[in-house]
Amino acid sequence: MLGDWEQVIAVEQQRTERLTLLLNTLPQQSAEFAVLINNLPNLLALDKEIIQLSIAKHQELALELKQLNQSHKGVKAYTS
C-alpha cells in the first residue's frame, strides 16, 4: 500500500514540474497559454479535491489498520 502512496506523490510531482515547464516556456501571447491560464482555477480546484479525498482515504486506512492491530492483540492475548 505504501508503494501506491509513493506513486501518487511521484505523479503529482511530475505534473507540477510539467505545468511549471509549460508556464515558463509557452509564449504568453499564445492561444495555448491563454487556455492554460483560463483552466488553472479548475485544475487547482481538482487538486484540492484530490488532496482532500487522498487525506480522507489515508485516515480511513490508518484507522482500519489500527483496528486490525487491536484485534490481533486481542486474539493473541487469548491464544497465548
More confident site: 71 or 39: 39
Q: pLDDT digit string (tens) for 27-44? A: 999 999 999 899 999 988
Q: How far is CA 63 from CA 1, 38, 39, 74, in A?
A: 14, 40, 36, 17
Instruction: Say if 51 falls within a structural domain.
Output: yes
* Average pLDDT value for residue range 10-16: 87
- Residue 6 resides in a domain: no
CB 53 within 8 A of CB 59: no
Distance (Å, rounded) from C-alpha 47 to C-alpha 28? 24
Residue 17 lies in a domain: yes
Domain that holds residue 45: 13-79
62, part of any domain: yes
| Structural domains of the chain, count | 1
In a domain, 2, yes or no: no
1: confidence class by pLDDT, cuts 50, 70, 90: low
Cα 54 to Cα 65: distance, rounded to the nearest angstrom: 16
- The pTM score is 0.64
Share above pLDDT 70 across residues of the chain, in percent, rounded to a whole number? 96
